[in-house]
Structure 1
Amino acid sequence: MSQQQFDEHTWCSTTESNPMLDDLAAATKGQLEPRKLRLFYCAVCRDIWHLLKDERFHQAVDIAERYADGLATPAELARAAKAASAAAKPLLKVPDMYAAHAVCDATVDDRTMSTCTWPWSMTPSQHAASTKKAAAKANEAYFAATNPRKAAFLRCIYGNPYRPANIGQSCQTPPIIALAQQAYDSRALPGFELNPEIMNQLVDALEKAGANPESILHVRGPGPHARGCWVVDELLGRPVNLAPQAKITQPDVEAKPIIESGNEFSPCQIIEEESGDYQLLFCEFESTSKTFEQLGYDGGGYGWHGVVDALVRWKLPKLKKKIDFDPEASLFVAFSPDKEVLRQVATLIRIACQDEAFLREAIGRAHRELMD
């Protein structure tokens, strides 16, 4: 995406929101879809609601959210922006000043929003350079406390732009869409996140409908979940692309895909056999060996066969009969006549490699199945 040293792993793990925004802007050549970006800033504002003591800020965020969903006019947004600006100007101390700036960013016009140029936003280093030492420390403390949440909101709203996921047509049913709308409309205090009880109902419905692993893991995950959540947006038929009416080219992904037949640098390989069936190969065990050792489990091919079998039973039970394993192999090998089935299994492996808590749960399930 961007020309910086930024890749899929960095996007999925960083706690710095500014490089993520830069990456999104570079990927879309400064033409981000304004609705999702506005909802990101609204989520940031909701997350620091207690710092927004002036009622004008609350009203401005409400209008910005309504505008994002087509329920407020450009004139209403402009008035909200003017009121927020007036309320923000007297605030010169951290953290109130930064909280106010977030509201001002949320209420800019669509053109400014889509180009990622926010007049009120400054990086920590810019603020530190323009303030006294004591204030600079307060700046750094504020950004250290809020940046991880901002990064999490960006991942909630944009998903993984290096590997966009599609939930699947089987999930586009009236009951699931109704749950998604209910989740979008109903939020929980104190952070105004999407209602966790409804999100739990939604993930159960998605799992039963055979949704892809990424969407299930995202909705089931700890969040934060905000309006604009990529899973909920897709179910509701709202814009999910990074730019309107444009397919983003991602050269980094095409050059170094995680799943590609014959790519020896990939964690997984899918190879077509002469018979027309497919093999899934995985042998990059070093990065996860410590976790296996801590739990007293073999971290090689044999151990991974047990773990993947448990993962499939857990996350993709409908696919269990479509996959065969070779548990005696020194590397992980799975077979299927359906390439898409193996792609979904490879996705589970990739997630397990990146998320230690997820891997530990899978190892635990594999242990329990061996004991049964």
Structure 2
Amino acid sequence: MTEAEWLTAEKPTPMVEFVRGRVGHWKLRLFAVACCRRIQHLFADGRSREAVEVAERYAIGSVSDRDRFEAHVAADLAETEIADAYLPNHGEDSDDWLAEVGLDAGAAANTATLASSDQPEGMDPDTWRTLFAGRPFIPGQYSTHEEAQRALAHAVRPLRYEEIEWRDGADRANAKCDEAVSQAELLRCVVGNPFRPVTFSPDWLTPTAVGLAEGIYEDRAFDRLPILADALQDAGCEDAAILAHCRGDGLHVRGCWVVDGVLGKG
């Protein structure tokens, strides 16, 4: 992948593959969480919502690997229960499309808790294999962002199945494409430009700038990013990428490379 391709990509999958091994696993997990938060209104089970929260806390180091794994098992069970209730009765004439949405959304939350296929410390391989035997989705088989796209695509299915089938398919395809574009933007927010890594000068990290970044991080108040840009510029920062990211109208999420850079996360 070239720098130009990275900056203009509208599909996150090749971007994820490009940065895998180049950025920390925690960054990719935060990207997975961001994808899930965009579809949280589609979750059919509270265990899926909790899994997303735990996945984020695990990414930033505030919960243990055991906590992460337990959340994954709970989300996986929720997904299995939806699948067991939905799949046997599913057919071309089924109107139970909300279950299909919930299944895909649950799968996204499930994979977010297992963004890397790490085996929890202290758990033997036989136990690991037993826990996942017969599961409908094998860990690592699907990526979180792809499951999120599928959930949104199914969410636009017409309430009346007898509507024109080609339109249904076109609407789904458009929903997936639109979400892929947004996800690519999210990944750029989390990772930045891997071709031009930025070093944050200690001179820029004034109490004002750091305080603003802390507030943005804790409150998810990304509307304050232009103010952070002003504070950084007042401290001598003229880095075009930093200032443009803060003042642009793109999507921002926890894990934003500028906020993390100011706070020394990384």
Under a length normalisation based on structure 1, what TM-score does the superposition of the two structures give?
Answer: 0.52
Residue deviations 1:25-76, cap 9 Å, x none?
2xx3xx7411111110111111112112321111111111111122111111
**Residue 62 of structure 2: SS of its match in structure 1?**
coil
Q: Which residue of 2 aligns with 1:196?
A: 222
Q: Which residue of 2 aligns with 1:45?
A: 36
State the 1:97 CA deviation. 3.2
- Match for residue 96 of structure 1 among 94, 102, 106: 102
Residue deviations 1:304-358, cap 9 Å, x none?
xxxxxxxxxxxxxxxxxxxxxxxxxxxxxxxxxxxxxxxxxxxxxxxxxxxxxxx
Contact kept in structure 2, 1:38 and 1:106, CA below 8 Å: yes
Structure showing greater Rg: 1
State the 1:138 CA deviation. 6.5
Does structure 1 residue 221 correspond to structure 2 residue 248?
yes
State the 1:202 CA deviation. 1.1
Q: Which residue of 1 aligns with 2:142?
A: 120
Q: Which residue of 2 aligns with 1:21?
A: 16
- Match for residue 258 of structure 2 among 228, 231, 251: 231
Identity %: 33
State the 1:209 CA deviation. 1.7
Where do 4+ consecutive residues of structure 1 move more than 6 Å?
A: 133-136
Contact kept in structure 2, 1:39 and 1:65, CA below 8 Å: yes
Contact kept in structure 2, 1:95 and 1:142, CA below 8 Å: no
State the 1:109 CA deviation. 6.3
State the 1:140 CA deviation. 2.9
Q: How has the CA–CA distance of structure 1 residues 121 and 209 changed in structure 2, closer, same or farther, with 3 Å as cutoff? A: same
Residue deviations 1:178-204, cap 9 Å, x none?
2111111102xxxxxxx1343232122
Q: How has the CA–CA distance of structure 1 residues 109 and 18 changed in structure 2, closer, same or farther, with 3 Å as cutoff? A: closer
Separation of aligned partners in 1, 2:102 and 2:173: 14
CA RMSD of aligned residues (A): 2.6
Paired residue type of 2:259: V
Contact kept in structure 1, 2:222 and 2:253, CA below 8 Å: no
Does structure 1 residue 179 correspond to structure 2 residue 170?
no
Contact kept in structure 1, 2:116 and 2:140, CA below 8 Å: no
Separation of aligned partners in 2, 1:111 and 1:105: 9
State the 1:104 CA deviation. 1.4
Q: Which residue of 1 aligns with 2:235?
A: 209
Larger relative CO (CA 8 A, sep 6+): 1 or 2? 2
Select the structure that is richer in strand. Answer: 1
Separation of aligned partners in 2, 1:228 and 1:39: 6
**Residue 53 of structure 1: SS of its match in structure 2?**
coil
**Residue 143 of structure 2: SS of its match in structure 1?**
coil
Q: Which residue of 1 aligns with 2:56?
A: 65
Separation of aligned partners in 1, 2:209 and 2:249: 20
Under a length normalisation based on structure 2, what TM-score does the superposition of the two structures give?
Answer: 0.71
